Amino acid sequence: MDTRDQELKKELAATLQARSELGAEYEPALIDAFLEKVEQRLDATHDRRVRRQLAEQQTATARPSLPSGPGGFGERHGLGIVSLVLAVPLSAIGVANADLEGLIVAWLGIVGVNAFQAARNGALFRRRDERARSAWQG
C-alpha cells in the first residue's frame, strides 16, 4: 500500500481512539477534522494531476515537430523534388518536338501541377487548424 494510505489509516485510528477517550459529544468535531484531512489529501492529489497535465500539454505544444501523414513533409516537398528531377527530360522532349513552344508547355505543366498541389495543401492545413481551434474553444 501507499505510504499516504498508511498515514490515513493512522489518522483514522487516532480519530477513533480520541472518540473513545473523549466520548460521543466530541464525535462530530473529530469526524469533521478527519474529513478535512481527507479532503486536503484529495485536493493535493487533484492539484498534482492538473499540474502534470498542464506541463505535458505545454511541452507537447512547445516541441517543434515535422508534420507527418497527409500534407506532411514528404507529400509537400516530394512533388516539388520529383518535378525538378523530371523537368530536365520534359524540357528536352518539349524542345525536341516543338522548339520554344514545347518548352513553354512543359514548364507550364510543371508549374500548374505544383501550384495545384500547393493550393490543395494550403486549404488542407487551414481546415485542420480551424477544426483544432474550434475543438479547444468549444
Whether the CB-CB separation of 113 and 83 falls below 8 Å is answered with yes
- Looking at residue 108, its pLDDT comes to 92
* Per-residue pLDDT at 86 exceeds 80: yes
User: What percent of the chain has pLDDT above 70?
Assistant: 75
Q: What is the DSSP string of 52-77?
A: HHHHHHHHHHHS-----STTSHHHHH
52 versus 73: the higher-pLDDT residue is 52
What's the pLDDT at 19? Answer: 87
State yes or no: pLDDT of 138 exceeds 90: no
* Average pLDDT rounded to a whole number, residues 104-119: 87
Of the candidates 80, 76, 89, 88, the one whose C-alpha atom is nearest the C-alpha of residue 121 is 76
Q: Which three cell numbers mark 50? A: 492538473
Instruction: Give the pLDDT band (50/70/90) at residue 48.
Output: very high
Q: Residue 49: pLDDT band by 50, 70, 90 thresholds?
A: very high
Mean pLDDT (whole number) for 57-71: 64
Segment 45-70 mean pLDDT? 77
Residue 117 sits at the vertex; the CA angle it makes with 126 and 88, to the nearest 5 degrees, is 150
